[in-house]
Structure 1
Amino acid sequence: MQPTEKIRPPSLSTAIPGEARVEGSLFTLFLHCPLSALCLCCDIKKMGLMNWERAQSYIDAFLKEAGALVARSRTEYVLFLGDDFLRLLILRFIFCETFLRMHRLFRGRAQHTRCSPPLPNDIYDHPTLTHIFMELLAHLQVRSHFHEPAAAAQASRE
């Protein structure tokens, strides 16, 4: 029997600030290009190539660290991490959930993603991941859109 994993978008529609008509889902955009999704939600319309590459390096560092954490935390996920495509989806899923937990507009639990088997909450709240994420936000000058890490972790448990 093949192992399975399910990832699901938020159960409520996630409205994007200043959203005009956007085709597709925010969840899909996070799985395809996390930096584009972050820029869309934080109303970043223009960015120079050097800034984009620097921001992408923060996301790459986040995904690398998240991969190491997942490999140590859930044996069910180790099988999926061997496949490059599934690994990338799982790690971008973690980035998406971290974003949703910390962003001020996505506070309700129904606006968060879900996966089965579940990943431990301490992955999303891990100090190293949080630090990298906050550095990315500072680089993009959008920290005001987000809660501080301790407040975000507490609110996501409620």
Structure 2
Amino acid sequence: MAELLGTTVPSVNSALQRARATLGKAGPPAAEPYRPLDGEQRALLARYVDAFERYDVEALVSLLHEDATMSMPPFGWWLRGRKDIRRALVGSAGPCRGSRLVPTVANGTPAFGHYLPDGEGGYRPFALQVIEISRGRLTGLTSYLDDPRLFSLFDLPPAPR
């Protein structure tokens, strides 16, 4: 690499060390795999479901890592940090209030089928939420919106039971 860059090996090693240190400080820690038998993970996810279904923004935000991210593909909407996520949730007027979540797993991480009230006493599939956890906090929340195929791919029911 030093030859390719036209510099010395010690210079490349030094730059690599600085880059690793910088990356180590950037953002939340890497997501942990889902461990369904881990009581701490189960308790954290239960608190998340409870807060989400009640649309208790303060309780939701309290579960987040300080640098947590939130996104909603296919939109270009991407947030980072408790403060910005809280602001977005408070400012949204609670469109997810009354929702129900059904657990599943996606790519080795916890996930939920998200069902919105349909206005007739039932629920309709709305999003697949993929949750990233690290060190007892939620570090990433990604909601894949309005793609009904996802529910069948993850063996989620057409409505919560």
User: TM-score higher than 0.5 here?
Assistant: no
Higher alpha-carbon Rg: 2
Question: Which is richer in strand?
Answer: 2
Structure-1-length-normalised TM-score: 0.29
- Which structure has more relative contact order (CA 8 Å, sep 6+)? It is 1
Q: Which structure is higher in helix share? A: 1
In the superposition, the TM-score normalised over structure 2's length comes to 0.28
